[in-house]
Amino acid sequence: MTRTGTTAHLTTAAPGRIDWVDYAKGICIIMVVMMHSVLGVENAAGQTGFMHYVVEFARPFRMPDFFLISGLFLAVVIDRDWRTYLDRKVVHFAYFYVLWLTIQFAFKSPSYAADAGWAHVAYMYALSFIDPFGTLWFIYLLPIFFVVTKLTRKVPAYVIWPIAAALEMAHIFTEWTVIDEFASRFVYFYSGYLFASTIFAFSARAAEHPKLALAGLALWAVINAALVATGLATWPVISLVLGFAGAGAIIVTATLLAKIRWLDGIRFCGEHSIVIYLAFFLPMVVTRIVLLRYAAPYLDIGTIALLVNIAGVLGALVIWRIAIKTGATFLFERPDAFWIVPRKIRPKLQPAA
């Protein structure tokens, strides 16, 4: 990836990995696990801890940045034929959604059945194919974004982008996840696709001027914290601005970390973000139950939530490694039978990306 970040250069760089992108994805996936870990612990304990404020600080930009990064390389593949495009951008995520939806229900259905009966469990499972279930909504929504963007690629951006921005600022709430999250998040995904060259150029400038970048991060952090604390972060327009500002801050942070090669574990988490996203729920829940039962008298809620967050991330990676060692690679790699267009031969096993 060159400094200019033009489409031509983007196309050349796409087959490889770009460190700052992996750092950004790593930060995002850790924050996603953090949200579920902290809120789960606090809900079970009936009280909040210091991690609650970290989650609230990240709320304006946590998912906007994830979706923006998800759209970053779409220009490379959007002109593929529909058969290949649907295979890579729809069937791919559909496979993992159905598989891990089933796995989650296998663990959670006994408790659901105890509360409402097995008929209700069957209803919930069927409904999950229409309205995404729990933590899996991200990979349910991504294929929709990919398809909508390809269908509208010949419509001028000056038509699509304002509509997407207006949907975000409308703060639509129907209680249907697809509708609500599409309205809230599509503008960021589309912006990642539309402004990819600008984003890469922005990252390059941050790398060239680290002191200025750090000063900008400090200013952003103060403003973001103040708007969150006052409740203004959720206001129309402000929420949109904070979403993009926070995404920019994550990009700058990721760029600086990649430049000095600090906290390389975050880059590794970003490289395997889909692995963590799919599997973190199990170690997170188990750790939460154990710590709340046995460690609550000795640890405060914030510390317990932090430990659950760490366990969720590391536990997912352990599950991934066990799957590779035991031959259960279908958990994180789509088997050949589920490819519409045969994949290219790879020299070694790669986790789903």
The series of mean pLDDT values per 10 residues for the chain, 353 residues long, is 33 61 96 96 94 96 95 94 95 96 92 89 94 92 97 96 97 94 97 97 96 97 97 96 97 95 92 96 96 93 96 97 96 94 61 44
Q: Are 170 and 183 in contact (CB under 8 A)?
A: yes
Q: Are 276 and 269 in contact (CB under 8 A)?
A: yes
Amino acid, single-letter form, for residue 339: W
Tell me, what's the pLDDT at 167?
Answer: 97
Tell me, what's the pLDDT at 347?
Answer: 47
324-339: string of b/e by CB count within 10 Å (b at 16+)?
A: eeeeebebbbbeeeee
Closest to 30 measured CA to CA, from 284, 300, 207, 349:
284
